[in-house]
Amino acid sequence: MNEKIALITGGGRGIGAAISTTLARDGFDIWLNYLSSDMQAQKTKSQIESLGRQCLLLKFDVTCAKSVEDSLSPLLENNTPFVLVNNAGIKKDSLLIWMKENEWRDVISTTLNGFFNTVKTVLPFMLRRREGRIINIASAAAHYGVPGQSNYSAAKAGLIGAVKSLAVEVAKRNVLVNAISPGFIETEMLQGLPIEEILKTIPLGRLGKAEEVAELVSFLASDKANYITGKVFQVDGGIG
């Protein structure tokens, strides 16, 4: 049995790719989930393999309970990831007055149903092994109002609530559950946003790098974080 596996949702590109390669650097083999970006997932897999670790590509939609279970259950019969990173997320920005029902539902579903579906599938195995780390990528938008993001803010604030409850439920079995709230991180998700205006709101005066989020995941996945659970960490250049 492999003791060091990390499962990362949305791990093919952006912050998820940085998390995948950083945890590979730390010695984890990677189960890399993605939805549609085949080439970027393949590229990240090659980077992981060049670090000497194994990478299994798992193409499934985190919002679909059946797909999550069908993909993971056969693997979980033989191996249990020590780390699950719920990173998959989307944004569909619109002022609430104009927001379509599907824009509300899809954003919330990706974050919250994604969390529920992956945790429901993996958690029983972590509890049995009496160890595990569930690290969840929330957002600064959960903490501060952002016009046009009521769906995204609701999803990420809901995720933080779920993290706090779950952390208390599973602490006795040594499964630690935390959240990270990134600020503005340089990925495709920022496309179309007014970057010059955004920079004025960031005390450190620049966007964050995906690797700067990944290093906190690395810490929370390590033995250095054995006494940390139910917490939210902001990586946002000092916003707010």
Catalytic residues: 152
* C-alpha span between 132 and 109 (Å, rounded): 24
Q: Measured from the CB of residue 34, what is the shortest distance to ligand NDP in angstroms?
A: 4
Please report how close the Cβ of residue 4 comes to ligand NDP at its closest, in angstroms: 22
Pick 127 or 239: Cβ nearer ligand NDP: 239
Cross-strand partners of 235: 182
- Minimum distance from CB of 27 to ligand NDP (Å)? 23
Nearer to ligand NDP, 122 or 173 (CB): 122
Give 7 or 176: the residue with its C-beta nearer to ligand NDP.
7
* Contact by Cβ (8 Å): 159, 179: yes
The separation between CA 208 and the C-alpha centre of its own chain, rounded to angstroms, equals: 16
Rule CB under 6 A: which residues touch ligand NDP? 9-10, 12-16, 33-37, 61-63, 87-90, 110, 137, 139, 182, 184-185, 187-190
* Closer to ligand NDP by Cβ: residue 168 or 204: 204
Give the CA dihedral 219, 224, 225, 227, nearest 10 degrees: -170
Instruction: State the minimum distance, in angstroms, from the CB of residue 99 to ligand NDP.
Output: 17
In angstroms, the CA 56 to CA 33 distance is 8
Closest CA to 68 of 114, 123, 111, 29: 114
Number of H helices, E strands in the chain: 8, 7
